[in-house]
Amino acid sequence: MKQAIICVDDEDIILEALKDQLGSFFDHQYLIETSTTAEEALEIYDELKENGYNVPVVISDYLMPAMRGDELLIKVHEKNPKTLKILLTGHANIEGITNAINKANLYRYIPKPWDKDDLILTVREAVRSFLQEEEIKEKNAELQAINENLEKLVDERTAALEEANATKDKFFSIIAHDMKDHFGGLLGYTEMLSSDFERFGNEEKQTMVDTISDLAQQLYKLLHNLLEWANIQTGSRTFNPTNFPLNAFILDEITLLNKFAEAKEQTLLFKQGGEMMVFGDESMLSSVLRNVVTNAFKFTYPKGVIEIAVTQSGKFAVITVEDNGVGISQDNLKRLFKVNESVKTYGTNQESGTGLGLILCKEFIEKNGGTISLVSEVNSGTTVTFTIPLFGQ
């Protein structure tokens, strides 16, 4: 900021001496303004402010015809208490000095005639002290801004953490509830078998053991999915991206998936895309493909058709899995992929699931830098689309 010093004295000769002495010392850095009356000095002060000047120092004579020096300095003090005020006095006027000290926070008074070095030293110190104050003020403002930013950041973080926590709480309560149900069934059947084993015929026993086996498998799957989810949340699930050819990867998976297709005499088709090398964690991506394709089997009637297709879009390979099955209601569609909501329906052959498959798919796909989405129409079918980054992109 530009700086100016104002000198006020009713005698031109004194003003010239002041301007001359201060000018030779401060010339380049500071504008030295002079005035023969206090009234004009106040106008100069205002003009300087309007023109973007700082006024670190005002030096004023004490005895002047209209407004006295101490009165002027009091007015300057009212305009800006930070401006340092120096009084020049011919007579040791105690009353004026006391007044200026008390009401204008007088910085110094210099008796006339003054010593040039003393004057320069005093003004230099005054300017320095003013600039230091300004600097502190600026730094304080900066600190306050940083502080406010930090507070805002902490608030945002806290809100995000609270939400994440609430989501996880909900997730655990859904899982715990499911587990309790399954364990309830398991305990009921095992207790019956253990206390009344002889009472049941072979056929009944077989049904019970089958149910127990189903429940145990369900429980195992729940635990497995929960662990997968927990591992990816805590970052302890290893992430090993490599580059691999997409068509060959899908063909491999299809060999295994075809076995599931047999159960309901469904057909699994694969529309290969051009040869593409993708970059990602194969084990995560095979979990994704398996879950999406087994969903398609599960929610499509026997003899239905499921098609996997591969295309390229920009820097990504796009994989779609389309079925002509039961579809998903709009209400359930909105709730899919959400940890704190549970969407779980039985398949066309009453197959059960954990309702966690797609949530894990989303975590895995996002970890790999891709996206996953789903469109569906009830009674017409569902298409799941996910992307994997191409290698080297």
Ligand X SMILES: Nc1ncnc2c1ncn2[C@@H]1O[C@H](COP(=O)(O)OP(=O)(O)OP(=O)(O)O)[C@@H](O)[C@H]1O
Residues that bind ligand X (CB under 6 A): 221, 225, 291, 295-296, 299, 323, 325-328, 332, 336, 343-345, 353-359, 382
Q: Which is nearer to ligand X, 55 or 358 (CB)?
A: 358
Min CB(275)–ligand X separation in Å: 28
- Least Å distance, CB 283 to ligand X, is 17
Contact between 355 and Mg ion (CB under 5 A)?
no
Contact letters for Mg ion, residues 291-330 (x by CB under 5 A): x---x-----------------------------------
Choices 22-30, 41-49, 137-145, 288-296 (CB under 5 A): range interacting with Mg ion? 288-296
Beta 372-377 vs 381-389: how paired, if at all? antiparallel
Which residue, 44 or 293, is less far from ligand X as judged by CB? 293
Between 280 and 357, name the residue whose CB sits nearer to ligand X: 357
Alpha-carbon distance of 51 to 131, in angstroms, equals: 18
Shorter beta-carbon distance to Mg ion: residue 295 or 368: 295
Dmax of the chain from CA atoms?
Answer: 128
Q: In terms of CB distance, is 241 or 325 closer to ligand X? A: 325
Which residues are CB-neighbours of 218 under 8 A, at least 6 positions away? 182, 352, 354
Least separation in angstroms between CB 333 and Mg ion: 15
Q: Is 381 in the site for Mg ion (CB under 5 A)?
A: no
CB of 347 to Mg ion, least distance (A): 9
Contact status: 60 vs Mg ion (CB under 5 A): no
Q: Which is nearer to ligand X, 35 or 300 (CB)?
A: 300
Kindly give, in sequence order, each residue whose CB lies less than 8 Å from that of residue 72, ignoring residues fewer than 6 positions away: 8, 38, 41, 42, 58, 60, 64
Residue 152 Cβ vs Mg ion, minimum distance, rounded to whole Å: 41
Beta carbon of residue 245, minimum distance to ligand X (angstroms, whole number)? 26
C-beta closer to ligand X: residue 126 or 326: 326
Site membership for Mg ion, residue 357 (CB under 5 A): yes
Backbone angles phi, psi at 54, to 5 degrees: -90, 145
**Min separation Cβ 353 and ligand X, Å:** 2
What is the torsion angle, in degrees rounded to the nearest 10, for the CA atoms of residue 76, residue 77, residue 82 and residue 87?
70
3-state secondary structure of 54: strand
Closer by beta carbon to ligand X, 21 or else 225: 225
Q: Which is nearer to ligand X, 36 or 352 (CB)?
A: 352
Distance CA 199, CA 195 (A): 9
Q: Which does 67 bind (CB under 5 to 8 A by kind): Mg ion, ligand X, none?
A: none
What mask, x for binding Mg ion by CB under 5 A, covers residues 219 to 248?
------------------------------
Enclosing H/E stretch for 61: strand 53-61
Instruction: Give the single-character DSSP code of 7.
Output: E
- CA atoms of 18 and 7, how far apart (whole Å): 7
Neighbours of 231 (CB within 10 A): 13
Check: CB of residue 355 under 8 Å from CB of residue 342.
yes
Contact 7, 119 (CB under 8 A): no
- In this structure, the strands spanning 242-245 and 277-280 are antiparallel
Identify what 218 binds: ligand X, Mg ion, none; CB under 5 to 8 Å per kind. none
Alpha-carbon span 60 to 39, nearest angstrom = 12
CB of 328 to ligand X, least distance (A): 4
Nearer to ligand X among residue 69 and residue 347 (C-beta): 347
Q: What residue 325 binds from Mg ion, ligand X, none (CB within 5 to 8 A, per partner kind)?
A: ligand X
Which residue number is nearest to Mg ion in terms of Cβ? 357
| DSSP codes of every residue in 290-343 | HHHHHHHHHTS-TT-EEEEEEEEETTEEEEEEEE-S----HHHHHHTT-TTS--
Q: How far is the CB of 299 from ligand X (least distance, A)?
A: 3
- Whether the bond between 241 and the residue before it is cis, its omega within 30 degrees of 0, is no
Min. distance of Cβ 351 from ligand X in angstroms?
Answer: 8
> Which residues are near Mg ion by CB under 5 A?
291, 295, 357
